[in-house]
Structure 1
Amino acid sequence: MDDLSALQMAKLVREKEVSSRELILDAFKRIDEKNEALNAVISQRQEKALQESEALVDQGQTFLGVPLLIKGLGQSLAGESSTAGSRLLRQQVASQTNFFVQALQRAGFIIIGQTNVPEFGFKNITDSKLYGNAHNPWNLDYQPGGSSGGAAASVAAKLVPIAAGSDGGGSIRIPSSFSGLVGLKPTRGRVPVGPSDWRSWQGAAIDFGLTRNISDTAALLDSLQTFQTAAVFQVPPFKSGFLAGLAKPLPKLKIAFSDVSPVGTPVSDEAKQAVHQAVHFLEEQGHEVEEASPDVNGVDLMETYYQMNAGETAAMMEDLAIGFQRPIKKDEVEPLTWALSETGKHISAADYSHALSKWDAAGYVMDQFLDDFDLYLTPTTAWPAPKVGDPLISPENQQKLAIIESFSPSAQQQLIYDQWLPALTRSPFTQQANLTGQPAISLPTHVTQDGLPLGIQFLAKKGDEMKLLRIGKLFENADQFKRL
């Protein structure tokens, strides 16, 4: 049953050809067989999941009885561990189920466990000190990506057909590229948030899922799209339905493309090849494709992104200190977390406000750019997955992180940029959509000569996920997807 899509599984359950219990037990069997090598799943809830499956009532749920893994970060389920991949929180248990997870349950999913993440989701690899490295099913010597790395490995290895993830700088799309999956980051405000976190990373971060096909992605978006009157960010619901929209013919589109890194870092020949193969395919399908890119200062934008990261981390550490009723010690968190927190202490309110204003300005530029083009095509990642054990930071900068308290505020911010540069070089194309709030999708269209997947990315106007799904369906129907 591991080759079935989530929609196919739900259909079998609804028609009583298989039970949800059977699907869940089958998923746990695959986890038992594969997870020792993958280290993708960090917790399981077999007894509770089976109880929930027995109590399941068919009320037309799209994903009736389908087993699902949620991310071990920011997707709280009452009574389950809530570690965020950090040793500091290894004993923490969620006191409530957040609105996103509630929506997954209303859609019919049965949650069977949680997936591996880097500490607090700060990396594009999954290597937390608490849980260890996740491994890529395509080649176990390589990373599946991050921060939704455990989710990506779980879906690529067919433990489950869909795994929930989140994306604050590419954390769904990067592991989708590295692991040969479909990874959609919806428009800011599209899916449920709250009740404890209403503007995660000031709206840069959003929850969704990783899948192996476009129909599951569209149906998941149908199930999760919402309009919350209490939410800070909102987008009008797509009332005609995303899954239904896949059946409509795709009009001829005008598509911009670029294979140039927005921060001036090198891009691999394989990533360029993936884009140019896509360009050739699109032209064969009758679409107009033109090399063009928006007039956005990528380096400047990344600096504001890191200012936000630092400020939010400092605030988080203050909240943790209040919760623990004591100061957080340096050795209780990983070096990057501590460095961000120390840097964030010196980010002024004015600096933070200016940073967010630059996000809005970039969002306007992108919106204007997409008045001229229907979609914008780039590589998802500039390089394929790094090897397990590669920290994507130089030894020199690793040492500097350990003494970041001794640096001036400006030197701290420069170190944050410098230490992240090797990781940013791997994936410089994804962050912009997080800061502008636009939807973006990674499609699994390329495999390198070394046998590693590499995705392409499309961006669209806010609220226009339908175009992304339809272009994805075009590639999928023409057998352009490369999957395990």
Structure 2
Amino acid sequence: MVALPEYDNMDAVALSEAISNKELSINDVVDAAVARMEQRNPQINAVVTPMVDRWRRDFEKLNPQSPLYGVPFLLKDLVAAYEGVPFSCGSRALADYIPEHNSEMVNRFQQAGLIHLGKTNTPEFGLMGVTEPELFGPSRNPWNTDHTPGGSSGGSGAAVAARIVPVASAGDGGGSIRIPASCCGLFGLKPSRGRTPTGPDQGQLWQGAAVEHVLSRSVRDSALMLDLTAGPDHGAHFPMEKPGQSYLAMTKVAPRRLTIAFSTENPTGGTVNPECKRAVEKTAKLLESLGHIVEEATPEYDATQLYQSYLAMNLGETAAAIGHIEQQLGRALKPGKDIEIMTALLVKLGETYSAKEFAQTLHAWNIYARTMGEFHKKYDLYLTPTMADLPAKVGELMPSSIEKIVLRGLYKLPIATLLKRSGIFEKLAFRQLEKLPFTQLANLTGQPAMSVPVHWADNGLPVGVQFMAPMADEVTLFQLAAQLESELNWQAHKPAWLDS
């Protein structure tokens, strides 16, 4: 039995209250988190860079009056730079890179009073919906370690689900908060574009598609964290001010009677696992019982074109990022040695897109935003599965050994446009899309969206549902999530092996 058994059932708010009331000491709370990291992390490979040796030194920087003073926390090893701590982004190319200053979000996490105990696993540069970087190896789902915790915030999701910490940082550029939330039985909200800061080294993440926040077990933790981190930093591209009311306070206010559209159909025409459909149907019935108006309806957009638009941005951004790293290192990065072959192919393909094609991609995003704006004139929220399938088995969505050999051969093609015409990369990318077709829409439109853990499949794996709200309306999402949390009590669910 690990130390402080009650720790497993306490969220960040409860821990901070117990510390403030002298019911628990910070030393005891941190010791409990560290004990769980040492005992549980070997099974799930969630924490890849422990920072336990730094916490006492950095603790002096924290304000005892901060709302989450003394609460253990983990940082995703992507975007969230911490001065003096390795910042690999899941890549061998950056395995030895040590940033000289914090990112603005890390500063705000520190101002909240959080104690940083480590950095969590992520796919190389956050490019996959699973967390299986060659540098650190795969993270595993605490509910069944044969399966993925999702990605790209899979390490954070696994750590929170395993009760190592109550909350951990995460980012979402195509579903990377919501997918791990669904896989791991957690609450995950992607804020609106511009809601949280991206500085000082980033202007906008992935043309504004990506945004940082957290993964948590409780709704109130997520709401409080957004209270503490939201708001623009200097030079922000999308300076979105905080609303007049506290998100945490608004979770205590019941939502108004909402009109909610729902769909269980895969927008690409692919299949949806019956368990994922069941989760939406179950939620729709619950919403009706709570007095909300629920109708089956779908916004009209071409999901395949949307994903091609998303992929074009992803390719261009990856090519630019690798180019920047090569410039900083003063040398070219070698596929298979410095970067994974999939990343190298993304770069090569990204270099084939013209400025015209990239501009057309961004124009398409505006069309999707207008489409959803019209849709939300009638519907307050849009409900879908978060994922089209249950969490994949580890390795299932990664290239096979044979595919890697083929990809290496294709990479050597003398003309990049030949690689583009081959279509093999698009085939691999769409293999993920078939499993994850619901999340990218909110990234391209900039809307807030959340995954709520409402169902556990017959095999014990969690299943989340996604809600999208109009731009800047996180309040309605938090209010509804708190209402559902009260009805479903999902925090009572816990992987059985944690008690062994």
Gaps (5+ residues) in structure 2? 1-6, 495-500
Could you list the per-position Cα deviations for residues 14-73 of structure 1 after superposition, in whole angstroms to 9, with x for gaps in the alignment?
2222222221121111101111111110111123212333564322x2211111000011
User: Contact 1:256–1:290 at 8 Å: present in 2 too?
Assistant: yes
Matching of residues 74-89 of structure 1 within 5 Å: 74-89=79-94
Secondary structure in structure 1 of the residue aligned to 2:488: coil
Contact 2:123 2:151 in 1 (8 A): yes
Q: Match of 1:440?
A: 449
Residues in 2 aligned to 1:397 and 1:412: alpha-carbon distance in whole angstroms:
16
Indicate the residue corresponding to 1:470 in structure 2: 479
Preserved contact between residue 359 and residue 435 of structure 1 (Cα < 8 Å):
yes
2:88·2:97 contact (CA, 8 Å) conserved in 1?
yes
The corresponding residue for 1:26 is 32
2:368 is aligned to: 362
Deviation at 1:88, TM superposition (A): 1.4
Contact 1:445 1:480 (C-alpha < 8 Å) held by counterparts: no
> For residues 330-389 of structure 1, what are the alpha-carbon distances to aligned partners after superposition, in whole Å with 9 as ceiling and x for unaligned?
222111100000001111111101101101110111111111100000000111111123
Q: Secondary structure at the match of 1:390?
A: coil
Q: 1:130 aligns with which of 107, 115, 135?
A: 135
CA contact (8 A) 2:449 2:467 kept: yes
| One-letter amino acid matched to 2:466 | Q
How far has the Cα of 1:399 moved from its partner?
4.0
The residue type paired with residue 472 of structure 2 is G
Q: Kindly indicate whether residue 193 of structure 2 is the aligned counterpart of residue 184 of structure 1.
A: no
AA of the residue aligned to 1:228: D
1:236 paired to 2:253: no
Q: CA separation in 2, counterparts of 1:427 and 1:233?
A: 27
TM-score, normalization by structure 1 = 0.97
Structure 1 window deviating more from structure 2 (405-414 vs 119-128): it is 405-414
Rounded to whole Å, the distance in 1 between the matches of 2:404 and 2:316 is 21
Residue 110 of structure 2 is aligned to residue 101 of structure 1: no
Note the 1:81-480 alignment, pairs <5 A: 81-228=86-233, 230-331=235-336, 332-393=338-399, 397-402=403-408, 403-406=410-413, 409=417, 412=420, 414-479=423-488
Q: 1:405 offset after TM fit, Å?
A: 4.7
Provide closer, same or farther for how the CA distance between residues 250 and 391 of structure 1 changes in structure 2, counting only shifts above 3 A.
closer
Query: Take 1:380 and 1:395, find their aligned partners in 2: how far apart are those partners?
Result: 29
Inter-partner Cα distance in structure 1 for 2:437 and 2:95: 32
Question: Which letter does structure 2 place at the counterpart of 1:323?
Answer: Q
Aligned-residue identity in percent: 37
String of CA shifts for 1:378-432, please: whole Å, max 9, x gaps.
0001111111232344666544432145265375273332111222111110111
- Secondary structure of the residue aligned to 2:253 is coil
Structure-2 change in CA distance of 1:278 and 1:410 (3 Å): farther
Q: Which amino acid aligns with 1:260?
A: E
1:229 CA drift (Å): 5.1
Partner of 2:498: none
CA distance in 1, matches of 2:442, 2:229: 20
Q: Alignment partner of 1:236: what SS?
A: coil
CA contact (8 A) 1:68 1:111 kept: yes
Contact 1:20 1:53 in 2 (8 A): no
Query: RMSD in angstroms over aligned alpha carbons?
Result: 1.6
Give CA-to-partner distance per residue, 1:243-265, whole Å, 9 cap, x none: 11112232111000111112222
Unpaired stretches in structure 1, ≥5 consecutive residues: none
Q: C-alpha distance in 1, partners of 2:396/2:418? A: 28
Is the 8 Å Cα contact of residues 122 and 153 (structure 2) preserved in structure 1?
yes
The residue type equivalent to 1:12 in the other structure is: A
1:476 partner amino acid: E
Take 2:418 and 2:448, find their aligned partners in 1: how far apart are those partners?
A: 33
One-letter code of the match for 1:326?
Answer: R
Whether the aligned pair in 2 keeps the contact of 1:257 and 1:377 (CA below 8 Å) is yes
Structure 1 residue 194: Cα displacement: 0.8
Q: Secondary structure of the equivalent of 1:2? A: helix
> Which residue identity does 1:340 align to in structure 2?
L
Q: Secondary structure at the match of 2:407?
A: helix
Name the stretch that deviates more: 189-198 or 228-237: 228-237
Deviation at 1:449, TM superposition (A): 1.1
Q: Distance in 1 between matches of 2:196 and 2:453?
A: 24
Q: 2: distance between equivalents of 1:110 and 1:251?
A: 37
Q: Deviations over 1:163-196 (max 9, x none)?
A: 1011110011001101100010000100111111
SS of aligned partner of 1:330: coil
Cα distance in 2, alignment partners of residues 324 and 285 from structure 1: 57
Structure 2 CA distance for partners of 1:396 and 1:364, relative to 1, 3 Å: farther
Residues 182-220 of structure 1: per-residue CA shift (max 9 Å, x gap) = 010000100111111111111111111000011111111
Are 2:47 and 1:38 aligned? no
Q: Does the aligned pair in 1 maintain the 2:63–2:113 contact within 8 Å?
A: no
- Which is worse superposed, 45-54 or 196-205? 45-54
Give the secondary structure class of the aligned counterpart of 1:96.
coil
Q: Specify the code of the residue in structure 2 equivalent to 1:442.
A: S
1:209 aligned counterpart, secondary structure: strand
Letter of the structure 1 residue corresponding to residue 274 of structure 2: D
* Residues 227 and 315 of structure 1: CA distance in aligned 2, closer, same or farther (over 3 Å): closer
Question: 2:19 matched to which residue of 1?
Answer: 13
